[in-house]
Structure 1
Amino acid sequence: MNKLELHTELNQAIELKQFDQREALEAALCTRIGERLAESLERRGEAALVVSGGRTPAALFERLSRLPLAWSNVTVTLADERWVDEQHQDSNARTVRTHLLQNHAAQARFLPLVNEADTPHEGQAITEHALTQLPRVIDVVVLGMGEDGHTASFFPHAPELAQALDPKPASDCVAVTPPAAPWHRITLTLPRLLASREIIVHLCGESKLPVLQQALAVGPIAQMPIRAVLRQKKTPVAIYWAP
Protein backbone atom coordinates (compact mmCIF):
# COMPACT_ATOMS: atom_id res chain seq x y z
CA MET A 1 0.00 0.00 0.00
CA ASN A 2 1.20 3.51 -0.76
CA LYS A 3 2.05 4.80 2.71
CA LEU A 4 0.51 8.17 1.88
CA GLU A 5 -2.89 6.56 1.37
CA LEU A 6 -3.60 6.29 5.10
CA HIS A 7 -6.31 8.29 6.86
CA THR A 8 -7.69 10.17 3.86
CA GLU A 9 -11.32 9.49 4.69
CA LEU A 10 -11.93 13.14 5.55
CA ASN A 11 -11.27 14.27 1.98
CA GLN A 12 -11.15 11.61 -0.69
CA ALA A 13 -10.41 14.27 -3.31
CA ILE A 14 -6.82 14.78 -2.13
CA GLU A 15 -4.30 13.68 -4.73
CA LEU A 16 -1.33 11.90 -3.18
CA LYS A 17 1.99 11.55 -5.01
CA GLN A 18 5.17 10.15 -3.55
CA PHE A 19 8.63 9.91 -5.07
CA ASP A 20 11.74 7.95 -4.16
CA GLN A 21 13.99 10.95 -4.69
CA ARG A 22 13.55 14.68 -4.25
CA GLU A 23 14.94 15.37 -7.71
CA ALA A 24 12.14 13.32 -9.27
CA LEU A 25 9.56 15.17 -7.18
CA GLU A 26 10.97 18.54 -8.18
CA ALA A 27 10.99 17.61 -11.86
CA ALA A 28 7.38 16.41 -11.78
CA LEU A 29 6.17 19.36 -9.74
CA CYS A 30 8.01 21.84 -11.94
CA THR A 31 6.28 20.36 -14.99
CA ARG A 32 2.88 20.54 -13.30
CA ILE A 33 3.28 24.16 -12.20
CA GLY A 34 4.67 25.15 -15.59
CA GLU A 35 1.69 23.59 -17.37
CA ARG A 36 -0.78 25.41 -15.11
CA LEU A 37 0.93 28.75 -15.66
CA ALA A 38 1.20 28.19 -19.42
CA GLU A 39 -2.51 27.31 -19.61
CA SER A 40 -3.45 30.51 -17.83
CA LEU A 41 -1.10 32.62 -19.93
CA GLU A 42 -2.66 31.16 -23.07
CA ARG A 43 -6.22 31.60 -21.81
CA ARG A 44 -6.06 34.89 -19.88
CA GLY A 45 -2.75 36.45 -20.86
CA GLU A 46 -1.62 36.43 -17.24
CA ALA A 47 -0.91 33.99 -14.44
CA ALA A 48 -0.34 34.01 -10.68
CA LEU A 49 1.79 31.79 -8.47
CA VAL A 50 1.88 31.78 -4.66
CA VAL A 51 4.83 30.02 -3.05
CA SER A 52 6.23 29.29 0.39
CA GLY A 53 9.72 29.94 1.67
CA GLY A 54 12.23 27.90 3.64
CA ARG A 55 14.85 25.49 2.34
CA THR A 56 12.54 22.85 0.85
CA PRO A 57 11.45 24.70 -2.33
CA ALA A 58 14.83 26.18 -3.33
CA ALA A 59 15.68 23.46 -5.87
CA LEU A 60 12.13 23.54 -7.23
CA PHE A 61 12.41 27.31 -7.64
CA GLU A 62 15.62 26.94 -9.63
CA ARG A 63 13.94 24.51 -12.00
CA LEU A 64 10.96 26.81 -12.42
CA SER A 65 13.22 29.77 -13.16
CA ARG A 66 14.46 28.05 -16.31
CA LEU A 67 11.03 27.40 -17.82
CA PRO A 68 10.55 29.37 -21.06
CA LEU A 69 7.29 31.04 -20.05
CA ALA A 70 6.05 34.59 -20.59
CA TRP A 71 7.21 35.44 -17.08
CA SER A 72 6.63 39.16 -17.52
CA ASN A 73 2.92 38.32 -17.32
CA VAL A 74 3.28 36.16 -14.20
CA THR A 75 2.72 37.58 -10.72
CA VAL A 76 4.50 35.82 -7.86
CA THR A 77 3.91 36.33 -4.17
CA LEU A 78 4.33 34.45 -0.90
CA ALA A 79 1.82 32.53 1.17
CA ASP A 80 3.41 34.06 4.26
CA GLU A 81 6.48 35.90 5.42
CA ARG A 82 8.55 36.63 8.49
CA TRP A 83 8.54 40.35 9.28
CA VAL A 84 12.26 40.82 8.64
CA ASP A 85 14.31 42.81 6.18
CA GLU A 86 14.54 41.20 2.75
CA GLN A 87 18.30 40.79 3.18
CA HIS A 88 17.83 38.80 6.39
CA GLN A 89 18.71 35.11 6.12
CA ASP A 90 15.23 34.16 7.38
CA SER A 91 13.42 36.20 4.73
CA ASN A 92 11.23 34.14 2.40
CA ALA A 93 11.45 36.96 -0.14
CA ARG A 94 15.21 36.53 -0.17
CA THR A 95 14.76 32.83 -1.00
CA VAL A 96 12.39 33.69 -3.85
CA ARG A 97 14.67 36.36 -5.29
CA THR A 98 17.77 34.15 -4.98
CA HIS A 99 16.33 30.93 -6.40
CA LEU A 100 13.18 31.72 -8.40
CA LEU A 101 13.44 35.23 -9.81
CA GLN A 102 16.44 34.30 -11.92
CA ASN A 103 17.00 33.18 -15.53
CA HIS A 104 13.73 33.39 -17.50
CA ALA A 105 11.74 34.05 -14.31
CA ALA A 106 13.70 37.23 -13.59
CA GLN A 107 10.99 38.97 -15.63
CA ALA A 108 8.17 37.94 -13.25
CA ARG A 109 6.41 40.55 -11.15
CA PHE A 110 7.04 39.89 -7.46
CA LEU A 111 4.75 41.17 -4.70
CA PRO A 112 6.61 41.07 -1.36
CA LEU A 113 4.51 40.95 1.79
CA VAL A 114 6.80 42.99 4.04
CA ASN A 115 6.86 46.78 3.89
CA GLU A 116 8.57 49.55 5.85
CA ALA A 117 6.24 49.38 8.87
CA ASP A 118 7.86 48.31 12.13
CA THR A 119 5.47 45.41 12.73
CA PRO A 120 3.15 43.30 10.57
CA HIS A 121 0.18 44.59 12.56
CA GLU A 122 1.12 48.16 11.57
CA GLY A 123 1.91 47.16 8.00
CA GLN A 124 -1.05 44.86 7.35
CA ALA A 125 -3.18 47.47 5.57
CA ILE A 126 -0.29 48.37 3.25
CA THR A 127 0.26 44.70 2.40
CA GLU A 128 -3.44 44.21 1.79
CA HIS A 129 -3.39 47.10 -0.69
CA ALA A 130 -0.36 45.61 -2.47
CA LEU A 131 -2.19 42.29 -2.78
CA THR A 132 -4.91 43.95 -4.86
CA GLN A 133 -2.45 43.54 -7.75
CA LEU A 134 -2.79 39.76 -7.41
CA PRO A 135 -5.43 38.26 -9.71
CA ARG A 136 -8.50 37.18 -7.78
CA VAL A 137 -7.98 33.59 -8.93
CA ILE A 138 -4.47 32.27 -8.30
CA ASP A 139 -3.31 29.54 -10.66
CA VAL A 140 -1.16 27.54 -8.22
CA VAL A 141 -0.51 27.81 -4.48
CA VAL A 142 2.46 25.85 -3.14
CA LEU A 143 2.42 25.29 0.62
CA GLY A 144 4.70 23.52 3.06
CA MET A 145 3.95 22.01 6.46
CA GLY A 146 5.75 22.31 9.78
CA GLU A 147 6.14 19.43 12.17
CA ASP A 148 3.65 21.17 14.45
CA GLY A 149 1.01 20.93 11.72
CA HIS A 150 1.14 24.56 10.63
CA THR A 151 1.03 25.74 7.04
CA ALA A 152 1.52 29.28 5.73
CA SER A 153 1.60 31.11 9.09
CA PHE A 154 -1.44 29.31 10.50
CA PHE A 155 0.19 28.34 13.79
CA PRO A 156 -1.50 26.27 16.50
CA HIS A 157 -2.54 28.50 19.41
CA ALA A 158 -1.60 31.74 17.63
CA PRO A 159 -3.96 34.47 18.87
CA GLU A 160 -4.78 35.41 15.26
CA LEU A 161 -5.46 31.85 14.04
CA ALA A 162 -9.25 32.14 14.02
CA GLN A 163 -9.00 35.39 12.08
CA ALA A 164 -6.66 33.80 9.51
CA LEU A 165 -9.01 30.83 9.01
CA ASP A 166 -12.26 32.85 9.04
CA PRO A 167 -14.26 31.96 5.91
CA LYS A 168 -15.31 35.62 5.63
CA PRO A 169 -12.16 37.51 6.64
CA ALA A 170 -11.89 41.27 6.90
CA SER A 171 -8.66 41.21 4.94
CA ASP A 172 -6.74 39.08 2.43
CA CYS A 173 -3.82 38.97 4.88
CA VAL A 174 -3.37 38.79 8.64
CA ALA A 175 -0.52 39.68 10.98
CA VAL A 176 0.40 36.68 13.13
CA THR A 177 2.27 36.27 16.40
CA PRO A 178 3.51 32.65 16.53
CA PRO A 179 3.54 31.23 20.08
CA ALA A 180 6.84 29.38 19.58
CA ALA A 181 8.37 30.15 16.16
CA PRO A 182 10.65 33.17 15.84
CA TRP A 183 9.61 36.47 14.23
CA HIS A 184 6.21 38.01 13.84
CA ARG A 185 4.63 37.02 10.53
CA ILE A 186 2.14 38.07 7.93
CA THR A 187 0.11 35.48 6.07
CA LEU A 188 -2.47 35.28 3.36
CA THR A 189 -5.78 34.21 4.86
CA LEU A 190 -7.22 30.76 4.19
CA PRO A 191 -9.97 32.07 1.85
CA ARG A 192 -7.37 33.99 -0.19
CA LEU A 193 -5.28 30.84 -0.59
CA LEU A 194 -8.36 28.81 -1.50
CA ALA A 195 -9.18 31.31 -4.27
CA SER A 196 -6.94 29.28 -6.54
CA ARG A 197 -7.14 26.61 -9.22
CA GLU A 198 -5.19 24.19 -7.07
CA ILE A 199 -3.12 23.90 -3.90
CA ILE A 200 0.01 21.77 -3.77
CA VAL A 201 1.51 20.71 -0.44
CA HIS A 202 5.23 20.16 -1.03
CA LEU A 203 6.83 17.95 1.63
CA CYS A 204 10.27 16.40 1.98
CA GLY A 205 11.67 14.13 4.68
CA GLU A 206 10.60 11.00 6.52
CA SER A 207 9.73 13.06 9.59
CA LYS A 208 6.88 14.73 7.69
CA LEU A 209 5.01 11.46 7.06
CA PRO A 210 3.66 10.83 10.58
CA VAL A 211 2.74 14.52 10.83
CA LEU A 212 0.87 14.33 7.54
CA GLN A 213 -0.89 11.12 8.53
CA GLN A 214 -1.98 12.72 11.78
CA ALA A 215 -3.19 15.81 9.92
CA LEU A 216 -5.27 13.61 7.62
CA ALA A 217 -6.86 11.85 10.58
CA VAL A 218 -9.71 12.98 12.83
CA GLY A 219 -8.84 15.85 15.15
CA PRO A 220 -9.38 19.57 15.72
CA ILE A 221 -8.22 22.05 13.10
CA ALA A 222 -6.85 24.38 15.78
CA GLN A 223 -4.44 21.65 16.87
CA MET A 224 -3.07 21.15 13.33
CA PRO A 225 -4.15 24.10 11.19
CA ILE A 226 -3.10 22.46 7.90
CA ARG A 227 -6.30 20.44 8.36
CA ALA A 228 -8.20 23.55 7.25
CA VAL A 229 -6.57 23.14 3.82
CA LEU A 230 -6.83 19.35 3.70
CA ARG A 231 -10.50 19.14 4.71
CA GLN A 232 -12.00 21.85 2.54
CA LYS A 233 -13.79 20.85 -0.67
CA LYS A 234 -13.56 24.14 -2.60
CA THR A 235 -10.05 23.85 -4.07
CA PRO A 236 -8.28 20.70 -5.30
CA VAL A 237 -5.30 19.67 -3.16
CA ALA A 238 -2.31 17.58 -4.23
CA ILE A 239 0.36 16.36 -1.83
CA TYR A 240 3.85 15.79 -3.21
CA TRP A 241 6.24 13.95 -0.87
CA ALA A 242 9.77 12.55 -1.11
CA PRO A 243 12.10 11.31 1.64
Structure 2
Amino acid sequence: MTASAHREIRHADLEESGTACARSIAAQLATAITARGTATLALSGGRTPVALFEALAKTAIDWSRVTVLQVDERWVAPESADSNQSAIRRHLLQGKAERARFLPMKTGDATPVEGQPAYEALLRTLDWPIDVTMLGIGEDGHTASLFPGAPELAEALTTEALCLAVTPKAAPHGRLSLSLRAIFDSRQIHVQLSGAAKEATYRRALGEGPVEAMPIRAILRQHRVPVELWITP
Protein backbone atom coordinates (compact mmCIF):
# COMPACT_ATOMS: atom_id res chain seq x y z
CA MET A 1 0.00 0.00 0.00
CA THR A 2 1.36 3.42 -0.94
CA ALA A 3 0.43 6.71 0.66
CA SER A 4 -2.41 7.04 -1.86
CA ALA A 5 -3.70 3.44 -1.75
CA HIS A 6 -6.00 3.77 1.24
CA ARG A 7 -9.67 4.66 0.86
CA GLU A 8 -11.13 8.04 1.85
CA ILE A 9 -14.78 8.17 2.90
CA ARG A 10 -16.32 11.62 3.41
CA HIS A 11 -19.45 12.65 5.26
CA ALA A 12 -21.03 15.97 6.17
CA ASP A 13 -20.73 15.56 9.95
CA LEU A 14 -19.62 13.20 12.69
CA GLU A 15 -23.08 11.76 13.26
CA GLU A 16 -23.44 10.73 9.63
CA SER A 17 -19.87 9.47 9.51
CA GLY A 18 -20.22 7.63 12.82
CA THR A 19 -23.37 5.85 11.67
CA ALA A 20 -21.78 4.74 8.41
CA CYS A 21 -18.53 3.69 10.07
CA ALA A 22 -20.43 1.78 12.76
CA ARG A 23 -22.29 -0.09 10.05
CA SER A 24 -19.01 -1.05 8.40
CA ILE A 25 -17.37 -2.14 11.66
CA ALA A 26 -20.45 -4.14 12.71
CA ALA A 27 -20.38 -6.01 9.41
CA GLN A 28 -16.69 -6.80 9.85
CA LEU A 29 -17.25 -8.05 13.40
CA ALA A 30 -20.23 -10.15 12.31
CA THR A 31 -18.12 -11.70 9.55
CA ALA A 32 -15.42 -12.55 12.10
CA ILE A 33 -17.96 -14.13 14.45
CA THR A 34 -19.37 -16.24 11.63
CA ALA A 35 -15.92 -17.33 10.49
CA ARG A 36 -14.17 -17.87 13.83
CA GLY A 37 -16.79 -17.69 16.59
CA THR A 38 -15.38 -14.51 18.14
CA ALA A 39 -14.33 -11.00 17.13
CA THR A 40 -11.88 -8.42 18.46
CA LEU A 41 -12.14 -4.64 18.28
CA ALA A 42 -9.39 -2.21 19.34
CA LEU A 43 -10.54 1.35 20.04
CA SER A 44 -9.04 4.79 20.52
CA GLY A 45 -10.71 7.42 22.69
CA GLY A 46 -11.28 11.16 22.49
CA ARG A 47 -14.28 13.18 21.35
CA THR A 48 -14.24 12.28 17.65
CA PRO A 49 -15.46 8.66 17.97
CA VAL A 50 -18.37 9.37 20.35
CA ALA A 51 -21.01 9.30 17.60
CA LEU A 52 -19.43 6.14 16.20
CA PHE A 53 -19.48 4.44 19.61
CA GLU A 54 -23.12 5.34 20.18
CA ALA A 55 -24.18 4.08 16.75
CA LEU A 56 -22.13 0.90 17.15
CA ALA A 57 -23.73 0.18 20.54
CA LYS A 58 -27.11 -0.09 18.80
CA THR A 59 -26.04 -2.64 16.20
CA ALA A 60 -27.52 -6.11 16.49
CA ILE A 61 -24.40 -8.25 16.43
CA ASP A 62 -23.68 -10.92 19.04
CA TRP A 63 -21.77 -8.69 21.42
CA SER A 64 -21.19 -11.55 23.85
CA ARG A 65 -18.67 -12.86 21.32
CA VAL A 66 -16.81 -9.55 20.94
CA THR A 67 -13.71 -8.55 22.90
CA VAL A 68 -13.05 -4.81 23.07
CA LEU A 69 -9.52 -3.67 23.85
CA GLN A 70 -7.88 -0.27 23.92
CA VAL A 71 -5.45 1.22 21.43
CA ASP A 72 -4.07 3.57 24.07
CA GLU A 73 -4.83 5.09 27.46
CA ARG A 74 -3.77 8.02 29.59
CA TRP A 75 -2.58 6.92 33.02
CA VAL A 76 -5.44 8.59 34.89
CA ALA A 77 -8.24 7.30 37.10
CA PRO A 78 -10.84 5.35 35.09
CA GLU A 79 -13.54 7.85 36.09
CA SER A 80 -11.49 10.83 34.86
CA ALA A 81 -12.79 12.92 31.95
CA ASP A 82 -9.37 12.28 30.34
CA SER A 83 -9.81 8.50 30.44
CA ASN A 84 -10.39 6.71 27.14
CA GLN A 85 -11.78 3.80 29.15
CA SER A 86 -14.44 6.09 30.56
CA ALA A 87 -15.50 7.23 27.07
CA ILE A 88 -15.72 3.65 25.82
CA ARG A 89 -17.81 2.59 28.80
CA ARG A 90 -20.17 5.59 28.58
CA HIS A 91 -20.72 5.66 24.85
CA LEU A 92 -20.18 2.10 23.58
CA LEU A 93 -20.61 -0.47 26.33
CA GLN A 94 -24.30 0.26 26.76
CA GLY A 95 -27.47 -1.47 25.60
CA LYS A 96 -26.72 -4.39 23.29
CA ALA A 97 -22.98 -3.76 23.52
CA GLU A 98 -22.75 -4.05 27.31
CA ARG A 99 -22.39 -7.81 26.82
CA ALA A 100 -18.98 -7.36 25.17
CA ARG A 101 -15.85 -8.41 27.02
CA PHE A 102 -13.83 -5.28 27.78
CA LEU A 103 -10.09 -5.25 28.49
CA PRO A 104 -9.23 -1.80 29.92
CA MET A 105 -5.57 -0.81 29.81
CA LYS A 106 -5.41 1.09 33.08
CA THR A 107 -4.26 -1.06 35.98
CA GLY A 108 -3.84 -0.18 39.63
CA ASP A 109 -0.12 0.33 39.09
CA ALA A 110 1.37 3.76 39.74
CA THR A 111 2.85 4.19 36.25
CA PRO A 112 2.28 2.84 32.75
CA VAL A 113 5.75 1.28 32.86
CA GLU A 114 4.62 -0.78 35.85
CA GLY A 115 1.26 -1.55 34.25
CA GLN A 116 2.65 -2.64 30.88
CA PRO A 117 3.52 -6.27 31.71
CA ALA A 118 -0.03 -7.10 32.83
CA TYR A 119 -1.64 -5.69 29.66
CA GLU A 120 1.01 -7.31 27.48
CA ALA A 121 0.19 -10.68 29.06
CA LEU A 122 -3.54 -10.07 28.58
CA LEU A 123 -3.07 -9.15 24.92
CA ARG A 124 -1.11 -12.33 24.33
CA THR A 125 -4.09 -14.42 25.41
CA LEU A 126 -6.10 -13.11 22.43
CA ASP A 127 -6.34 -14.67 18.98
CA TRP A 128 -4.43 -12.42 16.60
CA PRO A 129 -4.82 -10.64 14.25
CA ILE A 130 -7.29 -8.15 15.71
CA ASP A 131 -10.34 -7.97 13.47
CA VAL A 132 -10.82 -4.19 13.55
CA THR A 133 -8.56 -1.42 14.86
CA MET A 134 -9.92 2.13 15.12
CA LEU A 135 -7.37 4.95 15.17
CA GLY A 136 -7.41 8.72 15.30
CA ILE A 137 -4.92 11.34 14.24
CA GLY A 138 -3.54 14.26 16.23
CA GLU A 139 -2.61 17.65 14.81
CA ASP A 140 1.04 16.78 15.43
CA GLY A 141 0.70 13.62 13.34
CA HIS A 142 0.50 11.13 16.20
CA THR A 143 -1.76 8.12 16.18
CA ALA A 144 -2.53 5.83 19.11
CA SER A 145 -0.04 7.27 21.63
CA LEU A 146 2.84 7.15 19.17
CA PHE A 147 3.91 10.78 19.54
CA PRO A 148 6.63 12.52 17.54
CA GLY A 149 9.47 13.39 19.87
CA ALA A 150 8.49 10.88 22.55
CA PRO A 151 11.61 9.17 23.90
CA GLU A 152 9.97 5.77 23.36
CA LEU A 153 8.92 6.39 19.74
CA ALA A 154 11.76 4.47 18.11
CA GLU A 155 10.95 1.49 20.31
CA ALA A 156 7.22 1.82 19.58
CA LEU A 157 7.91 1.63 15.85
CA THR A 158 10.19 -1.41 16.02
CA THR A 159 9.46 -3.51 19.12
CA GLU A 160 7.93 -6.97 18.98
CA ALA A 161 6.06 -6.18 22.20
CA LEU A 162 2.33 -5.59 21.76
CA CYS A 163 2.18 -2.53 24.01
CA LEU A 164 4.53 -0.11 25.72
CA ALA A 165 4.61 2.91 27.99
CA VAL A 166 4.95 6.27 26.22
CA THR A 167 5.84 9.70 27.62
CA PRO A 168 4.56 12.43 25.24
CA LYS A 169 6.63 15.62 25.19
CA ALA A 170 3.70 18.02 24.74
CA ALA A 171 0.55 16.09 25.74
CA PRO A 172 -0.34 15.54 29.41
CA HIS A 173 -0.15 12.21 31.25
CA GLY A 174 1.95 9.15 30.69
CA ARG A 175 0.35 6.65 28.35
CA LEU A 176 0.13 2.98 27.55
CA SER A 177 -0.18 2.31 23.83
CA LEU A 178 -0.33 -0.54 21.38
CA SER A 179 2.92 -0.78 19.47
CA LEU A 180 3.06 -0.41 15.71
CA ARG A 181 3.60 -4.17 15.48
CA ALA A 182 0.27 -4.74 17.26
CA ILE A 183 -1.58 -2.17 15.14
CA PHE A 184 -0.30 -3.81 11.96
CA ASP A 185 -1.53 -7.18 13.26
CA SER A 186 -5.10 -6.24 12.30
CA ARG A 187 -7.44 -7.34 9.56
CA GLN A 188 -8.84 -3.83 9.04
CA ILE A 189 -7.80 -0.36 10.17
CA HIS A 190 -10.16 2.60 10.30
CA VAL A 191 -8.94 6.15 10.92
CA GLN A 192 -11.35 8.94 11.92
CA LEU A 193 -10.47 12.59 11.47
CA SER A 194 -12.62 15.67 11.77
CA GLY A 195 -11.99 19.35 11.12
CA ALA A 196 -9.77 21.43 8.86
CA ALA A 197 -6.73 21.20 11.13
CA LYS A 198 -6.79 17.40 11.27
CA GLU A 199 -7.30 17.13 7.52
CA ALA A 200 -4.36 19.49 6.95
CA THR A 201 -2.25 17.22 9.16
CA TYR A 202 -3.38 14.21 7.16
CA ARG A 203 -2.48 15.93 3.88
CA ARG A 204 0.97 16.78 5.22
CA ALA A 205 1.42 13.18 6.29
CA LEU A 206 0.81 12.05 2.72
CA GLY A 207 3.87 14.02 1.65
CA GLU A 208 7.55 13.23 1.91
CA GLY A 209 9.20 13.02 5.28
CA PRO A 210 10.16 10.56 8.01
CA VAL A 211 7.66 8.46 9.90
CA GLU A 212 9.25 9.67 13.12
CA ALA A 213 8.11 13.23 12.36
CA MET A 214 4.48 12.12 11.82
CA PRO A 215 3.85 8.55 13.06
CA ILE A 216 0.49 8.36 11.22
CA ARG A 217 2.67 7.95 8.11
CA ALA A 218 3.45 4.41 9.24
CA ILE A 219 -0.23 3.55 8.86
CA LEU A 220 -0.65 5.38 5.56
CA ARG A 221 2.46 3.89 3.96
CA GLN A 222 2.17 0.26 4.99
CA HIS A 223 1.15 -2.56 2.64
CA ARG A 224 -0.25 -5.17 5.02
CA VAL A 225 -3.62 -3.94 6.26
CA PRO A 226 -6.45 -2.17 4.40
CA VAL A 227 -7.08 1.34 5.74
CA GLU A 228 -10.25 3.40 5.51
CA LEU A 229 -10.17 7.08 6.44
CA TRP A 230 -13.44 8.58 7.64
CA ILE A 231 -13.24 12.34 7.08
CA THR A 232 -15.63 15.10 8.15
CA PRO A 233 -15.24 18.88 7.87
Give TM-score scaled by structure 1 length: 0.93
Mapped pair 1:215 → 2:205: yes
Offset of residue 116 of structure 1: 1.0
Contact conserved, 1:10 with 1:216, CA < 8 A, in 2? Answer: no
2:61 to 49, 64, 69: 69
Structure 2: tracts of 5 or more residues without a match: none
| Pairing of 1:115-130 with structure 2 (within 5 A) | 115-130=107-122
Query: In the comparison of the two structures, how many residue pairs are matched?
Result: 233
Runs (4 or more) in structure 1 with deviation over 4 Å come to: none
Give TM-score scaled by structure 2 length: 0.97
Alpha-carbon separation, structure 1, partners of 2:117 and 2:180: 17
2:7 to 6, 10, 15: 15
Mapped pair 1:187 → 2:177: yes
Alpha-carbon separation, structure 2, partners of 1:21 and 1:61: 15
Structure 2 residue matching 1:133: 3-state secondary structure = coil
Alpha-carbon separation, structure 2, partners of 1:88 and 1:183: 12
Structure 2 residue matching 1:84: 3-state secondary structure = coil
Mapped pair 1:38 → 2:30: yes
Alpha-carbon separation, structure 1, partners of 2:227 and 2:197: 21
Structure 2 residue matching 1:201: 3-state secondary structure = strand
Alpha-carbon separation, structure 2, partners of 1:11 and 1:154: 19
1:106 to 95, 98, 102: 98
Offset of residue 240 of structure 1: 0.7
Letter in 2 for 1:78: Q
Offset of residue 122 of structure 1: 1.2
Cα RMSD (Å): 1.2
Mapped pair 1:24 → 2:16: yes
Contact conserved, 1:11 with 1:233, CA < 8 A, in 2? Answer: no
Q: Which residue of 2 aligns with 1:95?
A: 87
Alpha-carbon separation, structure 2, partners of 1:55 and 1:187: 18
Letter in 1 for 2:32: S
Q: Which residue of 1 aligns with 2:130?
A: 138
Alpha-carbon separation, structure 1, partners of 2:35 and 2:2: 33
Offset of residue 100 of structure 1: 0.4
Alpha-carbon separation, structure 2, partners of 1:134 and 1:53: 21
Contact conserved, 1:10 with 1:217, CA < 8 A, in 2? Answer: no
Alpha-carbon separation, structure 2, partners of 1:85 and 1:21: 31
1:229 to 177, 199, 219: 219
